[in-house]
Chain A
């Protein structure tokens, strides 16, 4: 019994030592190529299992939605008709807008984003951080720092690139911060990720107008993210007379847990301050 106790302690000490050594090597950056290689190694398994998960979920969802399908169809037909009318109006407005821009000599920096679609093959298993692994890597032109978006808005940026996969740090991760602006009032601040997939906008100067429901977008300051991407909507404002700044809780526009694909912006190079 004593022998077993000693053996288990020795083994634990060796394994803990290896873990601490790995952490030290990771911190010094020496492990980066190995991590890239191992990420590539785990990609095929993750791809197959994520595909299986999505298929199983799709079947479940299909059964769930069968009952409400007819009502949904009728509602969508009506919505479609309304949207068609709106699209025609929007096209007219676009033509008018274009003409006005040309008259003013205004030129947009990034009129259209050139995007690379990617499938999410794995998600961060911990509850403390927020990462995704996608099935596109250096072989597809993915580089560290590339910005990940969904049709609803900003998701995050690439922090580690393997040859066929990459790790994306989500804006909701506690180690993520984005320079932001409130779309309506142009109040500036910094959006920080929080544990549990929440977002907080800090350093909003007192006196700046900010209200529940306001849309928060990227400001483009700092050069890590392009300007004008939706970060989320204000759900709560915290204001105190004794504080220098206001704070707001932001709800991300998309539930990342249910997202299956994303897009990487190819024609935006993040600024590197060296």
Chain B
């Protein structure tokens, strides 16, 4: 397990991602789709810090998304917790963390997230077409949401290195 970027900086990044997604993302849509900044951050976190961090921040971020969106409370938190845990385990086997590898690893995670949310909503009786959601929302939406993943990852890694250096210095 990696050291992690520290709870406070991650919470701040999550808050920024959440605000970007609710206030700014609807203004920069592509074919009516918004980038999923929170999901992108959770993917980056699970790749960097492993499944424990992925599950925890996935749950926190998901709950916040549920509160600010119209989906029933628990749907996004379920999908992001699941995604954070699974991708945390998958990423443990990654040999490289170059931007292309990160993007390729993030894409299926982001498709899975939107598909899980759509599945839950359909199961709860919302009139959503799963095929339409996958082809017109999950796949193009994941392409858009993959863009911030490498950027998030490098910020988190920088924060992790800083917090580790700070700890070493405080031991001296």
B104 within 8 A of A: no
Residues on A with beta carbons closer than 8 Å to the beta carbon of B74: 18-23, 26
B97 within 8 A of A: no
B55 is contacted by which of A8, A196, A198 (Cβ under 8 Å)?
A: A8
Residues on B with beta carbons closer than 8 Å to the beta carbon of A5: 51, 89
Q: Would you call A11 and B22 a contact (CB within 8 A)?
A: no
Residues on A with beta carbons closer than 8 Å to the beta carbon of B32: 196-198
A224 within 8 A of B: no
Q: Nearest 6 A-B pairs (CB), nearest first?
A: A22-B74, A131-B70, A19-B78, A196-B32, A8-B51, A23-B74
Q: Would you call A125 and B22 a contact (CB within 8 A)?
A: yes
For B124, the closest partner residue in chain A by CB is: A27
> Per-residue CB proximity of A109-145 to B under 8 Å, as 1/0?
0000000000000111111111101000000000000
Which B positions have Cβ atoms within 8 angstroms of A? 1, 18-19, 21-27, 29, 31-34, 36, 38, 50-52, 54-56, 58-59, 62, 65-78, 81-82, 84-85, 88-89, 114, 117-118, 120-121, 124, 126-129, 132-133, 136-137, 141
A9 CA to B32 CA in the complex, in Å? 36
Q: Would you call A38 and B75 a contact (CB within 8 A)?
A: no
Interface size on A, residues (CB 8 A): 55
Q: Would you call A8 and B69 a contact (CB within 8 A)?
A: no
B126 is contacted by which of A15, A26, A159, A174 (Cβ under 8 Å)?
A: A174
Q: Would you call B114 and A128 a contact (CB within 8 A)?
A: yes
B23 is contacted by which of A4, A15, A49 (Cβ under 8 Å)?
A: A49
A125 is contacted by which of B56, B69, B137 (Cβ under 8 Å)?
A: B69
Supposing A11-B55, A127-B137 touch, asked if A23 and B75 sit within 8 A by C-beta, the answer is yes
Q: Smallest CB–CB gap between A145 and chain B, Å?
A: 15
Q: Smallest CB–CB gap between A87 and chain B, Å?
A: 33
> Per-residue CB proximity of A26-55 to B under 8 Å, as 1/0?
110001000100110010011001101100
The number of residue pairs between A and B whose CB atoms lie closer than 8 Å in the complex comes to 166
A49 CA to B23 CA in the complex, in Å? 7
Supposing A23-B75, A128-B133 touch, asked if A8 and B141 sit within 8 A by C-beta, the answer is no
A16 CA to B76 CA in the complex, in Å? 11
Q: Would you call A22 and B55 a contact (CB within 8 A)?
A: no
A99 within 8 A of B: no
Supposing A125-B34, A169-B70 touch, asked if A50 and B23 sit within 8 A by C-beta, the answer is yes
Residues on A with beta carbons closer than 8 Å to the beta carbon of B31: 196
Q: Smallest CB–CB gap between A229 and chain B, Å?
A: 21
A82 CA to B23 CA in the complex, in Å? 38
Q: Would you call B22 and A123 a contact (CB within 8 A)?
A: yes
A169 CA to B127 CA in the complex, in Å? 14
A-B contact pairs, 23 of them (CB 8 A): A8-B51, A8-B52, A15-B55, A15-B56, A16-B82, A20-B78, A22-B77, A26-B74, A31-B73, A45-B19, A46-B22, A46-B68, A49-B22, A125-B69, A126-B65, A128-B114, A128-B133, A129-B70, A174-B126, A175-B127, A196-B32, A196-B137, A257-B29
Residues on A with beta carbons closer than 8 Å to the beta carbon of B73: 22-23, 25-26, 31, 35
A160 CA to B34 CA in the complex, in Å? 23
**Of B26, B62, B69, most A-chain CB atoms within 10 Å:** B26
**Of B36, B68, B133, B137, most A-chain CB atoms within 10 Å:** B68
**Of A8, A49, A197, most B-chain CB atoms within 10 Å:** A8
Which A positions have Cβ atoms within 8 angstroms of B? 4-5, 7-9, 11-12, 15-16, 18-23, 25-27, 31, 35, 38-39, 42, 45-46, 49-50, 52-53, 57, 122-131, 133, 159, 167, 169, 173-175, 192, 195-198, 256-258
Q: Smallest CB–CB gap between A175 and chain B, Å?
A: 5
Q: Would you call A128 and B23 a contact (CB within 8 A)?
A: no
Q: Would you call A124 and B69 a contact (CB within 8 A)?
A: yes
Q: Smallest CB–CB gap between B26 and chain A, Å?
A: 4
A198 CA to B141 CA in the complex, in Å? 16
Residues on B with beta carbons closer than 8 Å to the beta carbon of A45: 19
